[in-house]
């Protein structure tokens, strides 16, 4: 009642108000219609390039905080770049690059054109680039091995042999725009279709809007170097309850086991002798968590697993005069994280085996691409300047040659004496002590692997393939030629380790099982989620097996899939099933016959029962253990270390990619201007109405009306 008098329909001010709101409504409607509806299609199978940092540099890629957007342009041959770099009228562009063109020379062209490139999406090349492609360096881990300008300068910086001759260091460059890998062909097809439908113009004229655009999000929090980001994180965690960490050290676990169990709570006696068999677990590529590493890691650790199984089966394995230690180093790709940590722990007495216990050291380098049966034995010329070390190495080589004599498919060869060691974990041990060691590899000089640390170092690279008509379960047990060849190498390794450990009687009966090798290769390179891998893992780890191959990037949240799977594969191959119920398996301290100092116990899923509805879980006892692989630089807080690896990975909030249609700049500008105009107009009108409110909204106030 009180306000009714002011709102009469015949009032001219009220009319103008209605007209105004109608106008605003109309303007809003017009704006809503004029902009093309944006339909986002998110890309679900992509891998980003992320930022990594070492003591002095940052490498990798990133987008701006809100993601980088550009008009899509497909580059299938080098000439197509012309449009992106100079001709195209609508920069910036996001380039969809054919995988075969993803080379250093082309990337340098893109890098030099600030402003016109918003990002890059790279499709997988099929078939893979035939000349080879390696984004790693020509001299991997240079500066962190044994040779330097002051020690063996003639061998330093791979002067004599550029081991990874095809390496173009692309994965060690810093890019200011985001780069994504498109892992799925079907998604690539969807993107190309969007490009064809909207962005192609006849005869090189400017295409008409709306155009297909791509947006890439991969903003990285850390900048400059590990020194900078770790210092920042450390200050934050000192002064802030809720510290903002911007980078994390690359770290994981080494996997190791002993032929004869040792007491974990006590160091070995100084006169206990141990033969070390070593290899590496990890690899990398240009893209985050895409690291198939078939030749650079998987074939070697699979071979070593098979050798461990064969040696454990020797009847006198537990009575040999010397012990054998199998170790699988993590993070070797990033300046020897795993081996440098183990040497550090051995020196500090934090590991049951000490450096002086090491009798000899046999490392498996890349071994799957042997030409004409040859397996090369690489040794270090520097330490052999000492007569006694030289004699030990000679004895080691002749033991290997004797062990190889019984295996016609493997011919052990020595390279020229003056040649340095290839990049290897042994180099980290030699930095600490002149032990006698050898690195076995398929190459005499430069790598045979043409895809070192590339996304194409897959099963195909080591010629693992299966007949098409087989089921997954048949593939798992199908013995490939690669598996046979690697089993031969494993047999030689097993026999050599047996002899080095002082065994004599059964050397010729040690035989690696090609079936084991082929199942391991299938699991690591083709399909991790297979019946065997499921059967030897703990139940809580079963989600670690995906339907594809495992990726061997060390990462920061650990243990990673590979680490666990290798540990439990080793336990399956070298351990025993013990008859303990679940509770006792998980805590065997009360069982008189069992000992946690000597063994590791695991309650594993077991195989499917005969009726295939449930599993038959069991307790497996082995010596397969994990040991921390975090660079000592972080333990010592020496973030600028040149002695130890300093690699860290930046943190990020959001990584994703999507495509959508965009309207032209002009149209967006017009829309924006109209929007602003409407806003300004309505502000003014509101102000006027407000100022004249007493006139417009007449409210006859009766003095008594307020009192309810």
Ligand X SMILES: *[C@@H]1O[C@H](CO)[C@@H](O)[C@H](O)[C@H]1NC(C)=O
Is residue 184 at the binding interface for ligand X, with CB under 6 A as the rule? Answer: yes
In the complex, residue closest to ligand X by CB: 546
Q: In the range 618-647, which residues lie near ligand X by CB under 6 A?
A: 620, 642
**Tokens 């015949």 -> residue:** 10
Is residue 539 at the binding interface for ligand X, with CB under 6 A as the rule? Answer: no
Alpha helix stretches (DSSP H) within 545-605: 561-574, 582-586
H/E segment holding residue 78: none
**Residue closer to ligand X, measured from CB, 21 or 263:** 263
Shortest distance, CB of residue 82 to ligand X, whole angstroms? 18
DSSP summary character for residue 72: E
Stretch that binds ligand X, among 22-30, 49-57, 585-593, 666-674 (CB under 6 A): 49-57
Enter the tokens of residue 292.
């198939």
**Residue closer to ligand X, measured from CB, 60 or 92:** 60
Determine the 3-state secondary structure of 345 from DSSP.
Answer: helix
Is residue 372 at the binding interface for ligand X, with CB under 6 A as the rule? Answer: no
Shortest distance, CB of residue 201 to ligand X, whole angstroms? 9
Binding characters for ligand X, 437-476, by CB under 6 A (x = yes): ----------------------------------------
For residue 576, report the phi and psi dihedrals to the nearest 5 degrees.
-125, 155
| Distance (Å, whole) CA 429 – CA 299 | 23
Shortest distance, CB of residue 542 to ligand X, whole angstroms? 7
Enter the tokens of residue 624.
């397969």
Is residue 55 at the binding interface for ligand X, with CB under 6 A as the rule? Answer: yes
To the nearest 10 degrees (0 to 180), the angle between helices 387-405 and 481-500 is: 130
Is residue 42 at the binding interface for ligand X, with CB under 6 A as the rule? Answer: yes
Is residue 543 at the binding interface for ligand X, with CB under 6 A as the rule? Answer: yes
Binding characters for ligand X, 133-162, by CB under 6 A (x = yes): ----------x-------------------
Enter the tokens of residue 273.
């002798």
**Residue closer to ligand X, measured from CB, 43 or 412:** 43
Shortest distance, CB of residue 613 to ligand X, whole angstroms? 5
- Per CB under 6 A, the list member of 383, 403, 605, 623 interacting with ligand X is 383
Contact between residue 323 and residue 272 where contact means Cβ atoms under 8 Å apart: yes
Is residue 245 at the binding interface for ligand X, with CB under 6 A as the rule? Answer: no
Question: Strand 648-650's sheet: what is its strand order?
Answer: 58-59, 52-53, 648-650, 247-249
Shortest distance, CB of residue 669 to ligand X, whole angstroms? 29
| Distance (Å, whole) CA 324 – CA 257 | 8
Question: Strand 93-97's sheet: what is its strand order?
Answer: 41-43, 652-662, 211-220, 68-75, 93-97, 117-123, 179-182, 46-48
**Residue closer to ligand X, measured from CB, 382 or 678:** 382
Is residue 317 at the binding interface for ligand X, with CB under 6 A as the rule? Answer: no
**Residue closer to ligand X, measured from CB, 95 or 369:** 95
For residue 183, report the phi and psi dihedrals to the nearest 5 degrees.
-85, -15
Is residue 44 at the binding interface for ligand X, with CB under 6 A as the rule? Answer: yes
**Residue 129 neighbours by CB distance under 10 Å:** 16
Tell which residue, 535, 527, 615, 528, has the closest CA to residue 571.
Answer: 535
**Residue closer to ligand X, measured from CB, 491 or 551:** 551
Alpha-carbon dihedral sign for residues 315, 318, 320, 323: positive
Tell which residue, 177, 166, 160, 20, has the closest CA to residue 93.
Answer: 177
Enter the tokens of residue 32.
């809503």
| Distance (Å, whole) CA 135 – CA 651 | 23
Is residue 165 at the binding interface for ligand X, with CB under 6 A as the rule? Answer: no
**Residue 703 neighbours by CB distance under 10 Å:** 6
Distance between start and end Cα atoms, the chain:
14
**Residue closer to ligand X, measured from CB, 406 or 472:** 472
C-alpha distances (whole Å) from 31 to each of 393, 407, 678, 679 are 81, 79, 11, 13
Shortest distance, CB of residue 692 to ligand X, whole angstroms? 53
Stretch that binds ligand X, among 20-28, 69-77, 426-434, 446-454 (CB under 6 A): 426-434
**Residue closer to ligand X, measured from CB, 27 or 382:** 382
Q: In the range 496-515, which residues lie near ligand X by CB under 6 A?
A: 504-505
- Per CB under 6 A, the list member of 535, 558, 567, 648 interacting with ligand X is 535
Stretch that binds ligand X, among 227-235, 378-386, 584-592, 681-689 (CB under 6 A): 378-386
Enter the tokens of residue 563.
């680490």
Point out which residues bind ligand X (CB under 6 A). Answer: 41-44, 54-57, 59, 143, 172, 184-187, 190, 202-203, 263, 265-266, 316, 382-383, 385-386, 388-389, 432-434, 504-505, 528-529, 532, 535-536, 543-547, 550-551, 561, 572, 575-577, 595, 597-598, 607, 609, 611, 613-614, 620, 642
């Amino acid at each position: 009642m009180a306000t009714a008098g002011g709102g009469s329909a015949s009032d001219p001010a009220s009319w103008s108000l209605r007209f105004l709101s109608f106008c605003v409504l109309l303007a809003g409607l017009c704006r809503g219609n004029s902009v093309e509806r944006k339909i986002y299609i998110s890309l679900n199978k992509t891998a980003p390039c992320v930022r990594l940092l070492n003591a002095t540099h940052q490498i990798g890629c990133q987008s701006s905080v809100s993601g980088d957007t550009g008009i899509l342009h497909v580059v299938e041959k080098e000439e197509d770049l012309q449009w992106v770099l100079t001709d195209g009228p609508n920069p910036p562009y996001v380039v969809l690059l054919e995988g075969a063109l993803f080379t250093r020379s082309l990337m340098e062209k893109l890098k030099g054109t600030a402003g016109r490139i918003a990002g890059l999406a790279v499709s997988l090349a099929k078939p893979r680039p035939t000349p080879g492609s390696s984004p790693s360096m020509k001299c991997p881990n240079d500066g962190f091995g044994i040779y330097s300008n002051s020690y063996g300068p003639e061998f330093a910086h791979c002067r004599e042999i550029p081991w990874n001759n095809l390496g173009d260091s692309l994965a060690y460059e810093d890019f200011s725009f985001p780069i994504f890998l498109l892992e799925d062909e079907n998604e690539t097809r969807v993107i190309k279709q969007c490009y064809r439908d909207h962005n192609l113009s006849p005869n090189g004229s400017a295409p008409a809007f709306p155009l297909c655009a791509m947006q890439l999000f991969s903003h990285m929090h850390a900048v400059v170097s590990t020194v900078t980001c770790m210092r920042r994180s450390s200050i934050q965690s000192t002064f802030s309850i809720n510290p903002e960490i911007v980078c994390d050290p690359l770290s994981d676990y080494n996997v190791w086991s002993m032929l004869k169990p040792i007491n974990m709570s006590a160091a070995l006696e100084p006169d206990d002798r141990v033969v070390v068999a070593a290899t590496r677990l990890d690899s990398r590529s240009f893209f985050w968590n895409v690291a198939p590493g078939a030749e650079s890691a998987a074939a070697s650790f699979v071979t070593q697993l098979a050798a461990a199984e064969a040696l454990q089966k020797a009847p006198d394995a537990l009575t040999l005069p010397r012990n054998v230690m199998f170790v699988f180093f993590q993070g070797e790709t990033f300046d020897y994280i795993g081996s440098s940590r183990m040497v550090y722990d051995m020196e500090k007495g934090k590991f049951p085996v000490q450096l002086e216990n090491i009798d000899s050291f046999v490392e498996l380098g890349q071994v799957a691409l042997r030409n004409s049966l040859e397996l090369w034995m690489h040794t270090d010329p520097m330490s052999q300047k000492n007569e006694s070390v030289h004699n030990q190495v000679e004895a080691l080589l002749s033991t290997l040659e004797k062990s190889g004599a019984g295996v016609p498919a493997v011919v052990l060869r020595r390279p020229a004496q003056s040649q340095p060691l290839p990049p290897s974990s042994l180099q980290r041990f030699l930095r600490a002590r002149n032990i006698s060691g050898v690195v076995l590899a398929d190459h005499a000089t430069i790598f045979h692997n043409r895809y070192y640390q590339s996304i194409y170092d897959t099963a195909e690279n080591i010629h693992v393939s299966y007949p098409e008509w087989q089921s997954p379960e048949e593939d798992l047990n199908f013995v490939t030629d690669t598996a046979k060849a690697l089993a031969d190498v494993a047999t030689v390794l097993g026999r050599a380790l047996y002899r080095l450990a002082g065994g004599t009687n059964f050397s010729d009966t040690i035989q690696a099982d090609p079936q084991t090798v082929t199942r391991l290769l299938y699991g690591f390179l083709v399909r991790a989620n297979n019946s065997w891998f499921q059967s030897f893992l703990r139940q809580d780890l079963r989600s670690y097996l995906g339907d594809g191959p495992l990726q061997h990037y060390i990462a920061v949240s650990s243990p990673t899939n590979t680490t666990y799977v290798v540990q439990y594969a080793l336990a399956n191959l070298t351990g025993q099933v013990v008859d303990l119920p679940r509770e006792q398996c998980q805590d065997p301290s009360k069982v008189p016959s069992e000992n946690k100092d000597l063994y590791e116990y695991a309650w594993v899923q077991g195989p499917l029962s005969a009726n295939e509805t449930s599993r038959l879980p069991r307790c497996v006892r082995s010596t397969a253990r994990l040991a921390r692989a975090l660079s000592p630089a972080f333990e010592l807080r020496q973030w600028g270390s040149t002695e130890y690896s300093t690699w860290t990975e930046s943190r990020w909030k959001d990584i994703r990619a999507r495509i959508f249609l965009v309207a032209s700049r002009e149209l967006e500008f017009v829309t924006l201007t109209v929007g602003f105009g409407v806003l300004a107009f309505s502000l003014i009108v509101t102000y006027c109405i407000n100022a004249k409110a007493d006139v417009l909204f007449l409210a006859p106030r009766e003095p008594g009306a307020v009192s309810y």
